[in-house]
A and B are shown apart, each in its own frame.
Chain A
Amino acid sequence: MSLVIDSITKKYGRFPALSGASLTAPQGCFLALLGPSGSGKTTLLRILGGLEMPDSGTVRFADMNWLDMPARARKAGFVFQHYALFRHMTVAKNIAFGLEVRPRGERPAKADIRRRVEELLELVQLKDMGKRYPSQLSGGQRQRVALARALAIEPRMLLLDEPFGALDAKVRKELRDWLRHIHDKAGVTSVFVTHDQEEAFAMADLVAVMNKGRIEQVGTPDAVRRDPRTEFVSEFLSA
């Protein structure tokens, strides 16, 4: 019962984004993909979310052949760097989207959807914001709506692409603890991409340091910091 990524490769034209990335992480853990830009971390995240297909390699998650499942069957809640909220829908509609598009047989009743949306709004501390449009919210508020929307589908996996990238430092620190708290509460496996090592070490159970399409080292924040295995890792951490 874990996430096993094995020898994933992916090229964009001639440019190799991933060249044999492998890692194993236990289910329910909070995994950070840490690396400089161009190291392939976002590509790996998009492959986990089903938004890209790798050229080769396998992913197993909770005893499922993850790559054989289409994106919409994976229940992988994706939080985009720029949130990608549906701009023509209210906050409540955004959050309800994943439930409302379910096929008739699996779709919860209207009242249940409404209750679930209320719960999620409360969870992300936007209780009275349901009727607003995304353009009327601040960056931090949009971020939380994006998270609530991803959580609404009761995801098996939560994927976060530079979740705090577009926020200022103060909001960033606040959201960090809060996101960690949400992760623990929801009991999902979370993978989040960041280039900020402080962020990675503060939040994650496991940190995977990436460079040039490969994973250089995986370990707990302490282990990685105490014992960098490659020259790149020690250089990157001391930067």
Chain B
Amino acid sequence: MARRTFHNPTEDSLALKLTLGGIAILFVGLFLVLPLVVVFSEAFAGGLSHAWATLSDTDTLAAIRLSLIAAAIAVPLNTVFGIAAAWAVAKFDFPGKTFLVTLIDLPFSVSPVVAGLVYVLVFGMQGWLGPSLQAYDIQILFALPGIVLATVFVTFPFVARELIPLMVDQGREEEEAAISLGASGFKTFLRVTLPNIKWGLLYGILLCNARALGEFGAVSVVSGHIRGQTNTMPLHVQLLYDNYDYTGAFVVAAILALLGLLTLALKSFLEWRYADELAASHRH
């Protein structure tokens, strides 16, 4: 009897596998890895001492500090907002719910520059509130409040977007069980809701933070680019670059990239460390 070779129907040919895999690797290498490598190699092109000089420059330090402060305010605000919004959307039915969900996505679909311009229109000297704010000597534009507002706008959806599908999927039965067992609303949130969403929440916060540190467009419009005062890290990169300090620009860019990589590493570490718990929280 002739021997027949069987072909696994779900197995693709080797040529196809190699082609697809090759395209994926090439793409990732060209568009993700190469730029990262360039950033770090350019940062040290002028030697360690030059890199150190850029880093210890007062304007650079001011930019790093400003970025961190803006993120430190914007991220907690959006965390609280995101939890509240996701809670409302997932656990209650009310008219206008779909509209609210769409609205949360607005910052994803609107260009950050437009967002920045909106703040200029509202708070600027020619804007609606500008003159009255000026009368009370309150500075929003070209100062920290404006930068924080722009950052909040741009990073608005991250936590909420992460939590809404998770919380909708988990339903409200566990909360109902907690209430019927005598728990107050606050205790129910603290002991039942929060532990169930903590991984999604953490992931949302990490993403939100990464974006808050990296935001350029909206912040650029409202910051005024005052060196050492209202320049965030991304703005400082541009300023250095425009002033032909290429190495300096890459040094600051490298720090930004490093913060991003750190975020990813933290996320991967948490996923690895708590893999079991993570899997359990998705199971019903």
Interface residues of A (CB under 8 A from B): 49-51, 71-78, 80, 82, 84-88, 97-98, 101-102, 133, 135, 149-150, 152-153
User: How long is the Cα–Cα vector from A86 to B188 in the complex, in angstroms?
Assistant: 11
Contacting residue for B179 out of A72, A80, A149, A150, CB 8 A: A72
Contacting residue for B182 out of A49, A82, A88, A102, CB 8 A: A102
B283 touches A87 (CB 8 A): yes
Residues of A within 8 Å of B284, CB to CB, are: 82, 87
Of residues 161 to 199 in B, which have CB atoms within 8 Å of A's CB atoms? 173-174, 176-184, 187, 191-192, 195-196
Residue among B181, B192, B280, B281 with the highest chain A CB neighbour number at 10 A = B181
Contacting residue for B280 out of A82, A97, A133, CB 8 A: A133
User: How long is the Cα–Cα vector from A73 to B277 in the complex, in angstroms?
Assistant: 33
B interface secondary structure, majority = helix
Residues of B within 8 Å of A101, CB to CB, are: 178, 181-184, 187, 191
B176 touches A51 (CB 8 A): yes
User: How long is the Cα–Cα vector from A227 to B176 in the complex, in angstroms?
Assistant: 38
Closest to B175 in A: A84
* Interface residues in B, total, Cβ within 8 A: 21
Residues of B within 8 Å of A51, CB to CB, are: 176, 179-180
A87 touches B180 (CB 8 A): no
User: How long is the Cα–Cα vector from A75 to B182 in the complex, in angstroms?
Assistant: 7
User: How long is the Cα–Cα vector from A150 to B178 in the complex, in angstroms?
Assistant: 10
Residues of B within 8 Å of A80, CB to CB, are: 173, 176-177
Residues of A within 8 Å of B183, CB to CB, are: 72, 97-98, 101
A69: min CB distance to chain B, Å: 12
Residues of B within 8 Å of A76, CB to CB, are: 180
Besides the contacts A77-B181, A86-B174, what 15 more A-B pairs have beta carbons closer than 8 Å?
A: A72-B181, A74-B180, A78-B176, A78-B177, A80-B177, A82-B284, A85-B174, A87-B283, A87-B284, A88-B196, A98-B181, A98-B182, A101-B178, A101-B183, A149-B181
Closest to A102 in B: B182
Residues of B within 8 Å of A153, CB to CB, are: 181-182
B268: min CB distance to chain A, Å: 22
Q: Can you report 5 residue pairs joining A to B where beta carbons are below 8 Å apart?
A: A49-B180, A84-B177, A86-B191, A86-B192, A150-B181
Residues of A within 8 Å of B182, CB to CB, are: 72-73, 75, 98, 101-102, 153
